[in-house]
Amino acid sequence: MNNRRLGRIRISIEMIDHALKDIVDIFAIMKLVPVRAEFIYCSNEVEYIAISDRFEIVPEGHIIPEYAVDVTYENGRIKDVKVVLK
């Protein structure tokens, strides 16, 4: 894989069930392409490993870092999406 801008994010099943359109919009804003998804039973979340220009470059053999996604809404619409290294 040539693009090594990899990151891990987790999304709760509750958010997937109730705010799927927002998740699609967030992924589009981040230009995020999931390359792996895994259901984490103990936390009831889906962990995505993904490529995005908002992630740092991860050298081959290094651990892929986890990021928090901070979404700001205005008038019920997504205003801004920030990615923060956990």
Mean pLDDT of the chain: 96
What pLDDT band is residue 2 in, cutting at 50, 70 and 90?
A: confident
pLDDT at 48: 98
pLDDT tens digits along 43-65: 999 999 999 999 999 999 999 99
In total, the chain counts a number of residues equal to 86
b or e along 45-56 (b: 16 or more beta carbons within 10 Å of the residue's beta carbon)?
bbbbebbbebbe
pLDDT at 3: 86
Say yes or no to pLDDT of 82 above 80. yes
* CA dihedral sign of residues 77, 68, 57, 63: negative
Q: Is 39 exposed, middle or buried (0-12, 13-18, 19+ CB in 10 A)?
A: exposed
